[in-house]
């Protein structure tokens, strides 16, 4: 049973309640956001943004598009060109899922703008398979060594593994792990990926 005097004093509170429901003064009834006239200048449809022409060669095919300067290379590849093999993970250059080759160098494509790749030769995971359907030795090694599970990191892992072998035809396990350091995998524990790179270097 509740003790006397511990309840809420509704009688004292009631005299303040009407204040909560008083009408707003006229000068506060204008709900237009402050500086809305300035903001409206920048809230324009996407087609009105400034664009810039770029020409790139992707997997042996030439592409020319008008793109916004702020468009990341990974979004250009996936949304404009339609090559969705490279994945979007962190978009902060930490996970490596978006790794592609730009002029022969492995690049995290979320870390550069599409306009920066103007005139470049780009190789994505789709370009590793030959026209007759034959897979690259690194792709075959990943399959045979069970170096993938969910597959989200796999395109980036394969692209960087390809470069490891090209730069060092006989890497040690330590050198392989150092080369993979910028790519994250949350499934395999990396050992199978290391095994795949070791196997690929033997068959390359």
The answer to whether 74 touches 88, Cβ cutoff 8 Å, is: yes
50-126: what CATH class? alpha beta
Q: Where are the domains of the chain?
A: 50-126, 137-203
Torsion sign (Cα): 45, 49, 103, 177: negative
**Superfamily of domain 137-203, CATH level 4:** [2Fe-2S]-binding domain (1.10.150.120)
| Whole-number pLDDT of residue 189 | 86
Over residues 28-50, the pLDDT tens digits come to 445 555 544 544 544 444 555 79
Secondary structure of residue 59 in the 3-state scheme: coil
Helix (H) or strand (E) holding 100: strand 99-102
Per-residue pLDDT of the chain (204 residues; tens, 9 = 90+): 555 555 555 455 444 444 444 454 555 445 555 544 544 544 444 555 799 999 999 999 999 999 999 999 999 999 999 999 999 999 899 999 999 999 999 999 999 999 999 999 999 999 999 989 999 999 999 999 999 999 999 999 999 999 999 999 899 999 999 999 999 999 988 999 999 999 998 766
């Amino acid at each position: 049973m509740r003790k006397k005097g511990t309840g809420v004093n509704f009688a004292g509170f009631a005299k303040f309640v009407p204040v909560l429901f008083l009408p707003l003064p006229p000068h506060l009834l204008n709900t237009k956001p402050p500086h809305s006239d300035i903001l409206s200048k920048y809230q324009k449809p996407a087609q009105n943004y400034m664009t810039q022409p770029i020409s790139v060669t992707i997997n042996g095919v030439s592409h020319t598009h008008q793109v916004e300067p702020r468009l990341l290379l990974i979004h250009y590849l996936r949304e404009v060109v339609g090559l969705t093999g490279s994945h979007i993970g962190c978009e902060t250059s930490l996970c490596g899922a978006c790794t592609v080759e730009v002029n022969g160098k492995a690049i995290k494509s979320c870390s550069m703008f599409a306009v920066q790749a103007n005139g470049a030769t780009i190789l994505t995971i789709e370009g590793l398979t030959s026209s007759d359907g034959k897979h690259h030795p690194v792709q075959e090694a990943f399959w045979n060594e069970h170096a993938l599970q969910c597959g989200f990191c796999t395109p980036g892992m394969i692209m960087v593994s390809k470069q490891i072998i090209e730069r060092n035809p006989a890497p040690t396990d330590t050198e392989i792990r150092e080369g993979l350091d910028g790519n994250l995998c949350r499934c395999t524990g990396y050992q199978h990926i290391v095994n795949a790179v070791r196997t690929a270097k033997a068959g390359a």
